Amino acid sequence: MMNPTLTHLELCTYCPKMCRFSCPVTLASGREALTPQAKMAGLNQIRKGNEPWTPETTEPLWACTGCRHCSNYCTHGVQPGATLFAGRAEAMRRGVGHHALARYPERFRARDERLAKRAREILPKERFAEEARVGFWPGCDAIDKGAGDVLAQLRLFDRIGAEHVRLVQAERMCGGYPLLAAGHPDVFRWHALRVAAELSRYGTVVMNCSACVYALRALYPAEGIHLPVEILHVSEYLESFVARVKPTRAENPRVYYHDPCYLARYQNTILAPRKLLARVADVREFAWSKGDTECCGGGGLLPKTMPSVADEMARRRLREVAAEGGGIVATGCATCKHMLARNAPSGVIVKDLATVIEELSRNVENSDE
């Protein structure tokens, strides 16, 4: 492990758990062994040789979504998420990975191939292009969970005058963030090189997965992978068309916006989704929002390593909306949408951001006819 990582481990080991309240994994699991401090101190003990590398001692490494909420409250600037992910890579190298992630690279590759085939089957053939000025790459979870949101996003592009946007025609559907979360940095690099070659046929690539937007913008360059392409989240691309999103005239429905951690906290993409949503909705905020957002449970492969904790994180997130009488929750990430939707309590409806905008602006246009 590298020196900054060692410094972070030492700082956490002697810290009185100053960020404890901010870790959604700690709160959802109720386990003191899963506070950021305990996870980091445990890894430090293993690193120093005071504990062996075993599946049992390394289990807390897999209890993190990488959401960085703890880092917001750390006066030392420590990043437990990145450090624990580095610990995962070391655990994998020593053959003590998480049992739920056995043979993960092979499974990842098989899923990516399956989703590339599925995308060609369920999305309109005429929208694909091998090269284009603007390519839309919806993200693996968007394809996996059905064509509905992708079709709504395409309709929205058409309606605002961006009908030139083409679907990216690629053999790969995922930017590779899950490979890093699974402790496979070498496979991530291999995958990223191939993604970069495929995407370089487009001038701009528009994406709807918060973690992979971050991966392409920050992690690819960190690996020395040059991607000569503008990478935008779908809200950032749509922002320049905001005036073309027809505002509603009737009373706007109440819509809460859930900020994906990898978008709001990592990349400060906060205003664009709200600006767009405000054209058609009365935008409501969660108590934890913007750069201080709380994770939905979908990051860091937590749904695979601790599925019940991940689901409880999503339920915790939506509880305040239910307490306020329910309503619509919109989010700008296919993974967050899936996690929240499958855990939504009665009266809370979770939707993709662009889908909500498309549906509400369509209702206005229809009422004009």
Binding-site ranges for ligand SF4 (CB under 6 A): 11-12, 15, 17-19, 22-23, 25, 36-37, 40, 64-70, 74, 76, 78, 80-81
Nearest approach in angstroms of CB 334 to ligand SF4 is 20
Q: Based on CB atoms, which residue is closest to ligand SF4, 28 or 134?
A: 28
Closer residue to ligand SF4 in complex, CB, 44/331: 44
Single-letter amino acid code for the residue at 37: Q
- If 0-12 CB within 10 Å is exposed, 13-18 middle and 19+ buried, where does residue 204 land? middle
The residue among 70 and 270 lying less far from ligand SF4, judged by its C-beta, is 70
Q: How far is the CB of 55 from ligand SF4 (least distance, A)?
A: 19
* Nearest distance, CB of residue 40 and ligand SF4, angstroms: 6
Nearer to ligand SF4, 67 or 168 (CB): 67
Beta carbon of residue 278, minimum distance to ligand SF4 (angstroms, whole number): 29
Comparison of 21 and 190: residue with beta carbon closer to ligand SF4: 21
Distance of closest approach, residue 202 Cβ to ligand SF4, in angstroms: 32
Q: Which is nearer to ligand SF4, 18 or 100 (CB)?
A: 18
Minimum distance, C-beta of residue 111 to ligand SF4, in the bound complex (Å) = 24
Residue that the structure tokens 């920050």 belong to: 218
Report the nearest approach of ligand SF4 to the CB of residue 108 (Å).
21
Handedness of CA 303, 304, 309, 311 (dihedral sign): positive
| HEC profile of the chain | CCHHHHHHHHHHHCCCCCCHHHCHHHHHHCCHHHCHHHHHHHHHHHHCCCCCCCCCCCHHHHCCCCCCHHHHCCCCCCCHHHHHHHHHHHHHHCCCCCHHHCCHHHHHHHHHHHHHHHHHHHCCHHHEECCEEEEEECCHHHHHCCCHHHHHHHHHHHHCCCCCCEEECCCCCCCCHHHHHCCCHHHHHHHHHHHHHHHCCEEEEEECCHHHHHHHHHHHHHCCCCCCCEEEEHHHHHHCCHHHCCCCCCCCCEEEEECCHHHHHHHCCCHHHHHHHCCCCEEEECCCCHHHCCCCCCHHHHHHHCHHHHHHHHHHHHHHHHHCCCEEEEECCHHHHHHHHHCCCCCEEEEEHHHHHHHHHHHHHHHHC
Distance CA 89, CA 330 (A): 34
Smallest gap from Cβ 19 to ligand SF4, in A, equals 3
Distance CA 273, CA 330 (A): 10
Query: In this complex, which beta carbon is closest to ligand SF4, that of residue 27 or of residue 283?
Result: 27
Least distance CB 213 / ligand SF4 (angstroms): 18
Q: Which is nearer to ligand SF4, 84 or 207 (CB)?
A: 84
